[in-house]
Amino acid sequence: QVQLQESGPGVVKPSETLSLTCTLSGSFISTHYWSWIRQPPGKGLEWIGCFHSSGRTKCNSSLKSRVTTTVDTSKNQFFLRVTSVTAADTAVYYCARGNREDIFDYWGQGILVTVSS
Amino acid sequence: QSVLTQPPSASGTPGQRVTISCSGSSSNIGSHYLYWYQQFPGTAPKLLIYSNNQRPSGVPDRFSGSKSGTSASLAISGLRSEDEADYFCAAWDDSLSGVVFGGGTKLTVL
């Protein structure tokens, strides 16, 4: 049973850095593509970026300068950092798995991150 | 403004057949697979259709997908109350070098 679980702070101050962890069970980081997707309250989905353990990484061009994705294969975890956050970064953040970079067949439950002072 | 265009809402009565459209361009739907996701309030999206018209295990055959040129459709036949949800289309976009989503369609079962 593949399961993904996001964790991290629920509130981040404006201009600071948002850091999230996705912990994986039932699958291995060394296979598949791993993605971050977000959804502002009441709005649609926005792809943030993805990576493969081979080192192939892709990121939404509108966020690229502020986003970093890293991985700890020993812990079966991967991470998201978004710098210089503003209220526009308030969203439910999901981590997801795919066997291609364009598909998401397993999702975490999501974590709401609010940017507020 | 989403790259893929969906109607914001759709509705139907139980037993009816409903279709939801998704329109894009040659850089996304026209040259890549189209995916559909179903999302209930407060929950994560779920993969409903992949590779234009394939259903993952466990998805009822009442759900079907099709693609033609730069447009795609999701059809739900034998509509049931539990189908009431938000539906999103998605595809890779060559111009943006990333995945793009439709704005979502809220399906109401009357």
Supply the mean pLDDT for chain A.
92
pLDDT of the residue at A64: 82
Q: Chain A partners of B37 at a C-beta cutoff of 8 Å? A: 45, 104
Task: Say what the alpha-carbon torsion angle B28, B30, B36, B42 is, to the nearest 10 degrees.
Answer: 30
Chain A: which residues have CB within 8 Å of chain B?
35, 44-47, 49-50, 58-61, 94, 101-105, 107-110
pLDDT of the residue at A27: 84
pLDDT of the residue at A81: 96
pLDDT of the residue at A41: 96
Q: How far apart are CA B76 and CA B70, in angstroms?
A: 21
Interface probe, candidates A104, A106, A112, chain B, greatest B C-beta count within 10 A: A104
Backbone angles phi, psi at A42, to 5 degrees: 75, 10
pLDDT of the residue at A47: 95
Q: How far apart are CA B108 and CA B110, in angstroms?
A: 6
pLDDT of the residue at B24: 97
Closest to A91 (Cα-Cα) out of A36, A34, A49: A36
Q: What is the DSSP letter of A23?
A: E
Which tens digits make up the pLDDT trace of A20-47? 999 999 888 888 899 999 999 999 999 9
Task: Select from B37, B46, B92 the Cβ nearest to the Cβ of A102.
Answer: B92
Q: Chain A partners of B43 at a C-beta cutoff of 8 Å? A: 109
pLDDT of the residue at A70: 87
Share of chain B above pLDDT 70, in %: 100
Q: A115 and A14 in contact (C-beta within 8 Å)?
A: yes
Cα atoms in the 13 Å half-sphere on the side-chain side of B109: 15
**Res. B45: pLDDT tops 80:** yes
Which tens digits make up the pLDDT trace of A54-78? 778 888 888 888 999 988 888 999 9
Average pLDDT over residues A6-26: 96
pLDDT of the residue at A61: 83
Average pLDDT over residues B26-39: 97
The total of other beta-carbon atoms located within 10 Å of residue B32's CB is 20
Average pLDDT over residues A83-90: 97
pLDDT of the residue at A55: 76
